[in-house]
Amino acid sequence: MPPTVPPFRNPPVAVAADRDVFQALADPTRRAILEVLRAGSQPVNGIASGFPISRPAISKHLRILRGADLVKEVKVGRNRLYELHAEPLRDVDEWLAHYRHMWQHQLRNLKRYVEQKGKEH
């Protein structure tokens, strides 16, 4: 008999606009775009200039980031600027907090074990 899956204890991370935030963050190019936008709003050409891929490829990444609500598109006159919208990252951070606590606990136990073994030798 296969093991049963324990009930899900943490609420799922919010999915905005039918896109999973984790899916959007999984790609290193999209994470790099978010890093660029931390410095402030930029037009797509300004974003694309820092990457070795085409402008249409950057636009596709921006579309996915917008779908996950991680990036907002703002029209300024005839220009479109893209800006970071970090709110969905709070949900990710809250989800990760449970694991952070677990790892801190595990590392404390490892430290105690190593220190104990050091005293024995």
Is there a domain that residue 53 lies in? yes
Is there a domain that residue 4 lies in? no
Is there a domain that residue 2 lies in? no
Segment 24-36 shows an average pLDDT of 96
Q: What pLDDT score was predicted for residue 60? A: 96
Domain span at residue 109 reads 87-121
How many CA atoms lie less than 13 Å away from 88 in the CB half-sphere?
24
Do 80 and 50 lie in a common domain? yes
Do 33 and 73 lie in a common domain? yes
Closest CA to 71 of 28, 38, 48, 27: 38
Q: Please state, in angstroms and rounded to a whole number, the distance separating the CA atoms of residues 95 and 85.
A: 18
Residue 71's beta-bridge partner residues? 84
Give percent of the chain above pLDDT 90.
60
9 pLDDT higher than 60: no
Do 54 and 70 lie in a common domain? yes
Please report, for residues 10, 18, 116, the alpha-carbon distance to residue 51 in angstroms, rounded to integers and kept in the order given: 37, 27, 50
Do 43 and 101 lie in a common domain? no
Do 106 and 60 lie in a common domain? no
78 pLDDT higher than 70: yes
The pTM of the full predicted model, rounded to 2 decimals, is 0.70
83 pLDDT higher than 60: yes
Q: Please state, in angstroms and rounded to a whole number, the distance separating the CA atoms of residues 53 and 68.
A: 21
Is there a domain that residue 99 lies in? yes
